Amino acid sequence: MDNTIVELVAANVAFVGSHFAMSHPLRAPMVKLLREGGFSLAYTAVSFATFYWVYAAYTAAPSADLGGSGEIGWIAATLLTLPALVLFAGSFAGNPAMPTPAAEKQARAEPKGVFRVTRHPMMWGFGMWALSHIVLWWNLRGVITALAMGFLALVGAHLQDRKKRALMGEAWAEWESRTSYWPRWSKLASAGAFPWVAGLALWAGLSWAHLLLGGIPAGVWRWF
């Protein structure tokens, strides 16, 4: 195997593994040692360092070694990206998973918008974004990194449920009872105007930026 691919795998394992470790088993001892402020600084520093390693290893790896899945792959990727961005866009309002003073009140409220689809809209947005890059089958570096990011998002969402149960108790249990980890796609159409308008704008804008920054036409711009 190409050494650049080996390094990319190692970088992704470091990025994902450090996130899981610092968010769960190492969090309490690190906070005890460094206090909250020091822990936040350490978490940020490790995250940026490992992410930069992923970026450097990614750019060093071969850029087109799998041949691609053709137009079918591009159609699938385009269709996957739209609901991913709708979920992402709607995940910032009324999200009890966010560390805010209103979190407990939000967890006891009736789910609205994208939270009627899943209680982890941001994570599922990232997961679907990852899948959209895997189905293109363009290069091994993209498949490896997308698998890692998808794993981080979706397994991380499951672990977040456990952590929130411990932190928020009954409030999070109520939220879980009214929402679903797995997306209820039949409810996506009724997610609300803002998630759809913002999601469509992101869908068009990021697809256009894909051409400007990466030199590859993506999304609807591939055919127009």
CA dist., res. 91 & res. 115, Å (int): 8
Share of the chain above pLDDT 70, in %: 100
Give me the chain's average pLDDT, please: 95
The arithmetic mean of pLDDT across residues 138-162, rounded, is 97
Task: Answer yes or no: is pLDDT of 174 > 80.
Answer: yes
Long-range contacts of the stretch 161-167 (C-beta < 8 A, 24+): 163/23, 163/24, 164/96, 164/97
Q: What is the pTM of this model?
A: 0.93
Task: Answer yes or no: is pLDDT of 37 > 80.
Answer: yes
Q: Is 210 exposed, middle or buried (0-12, 13-18, 19+ CB in 10 A)?
A: middle
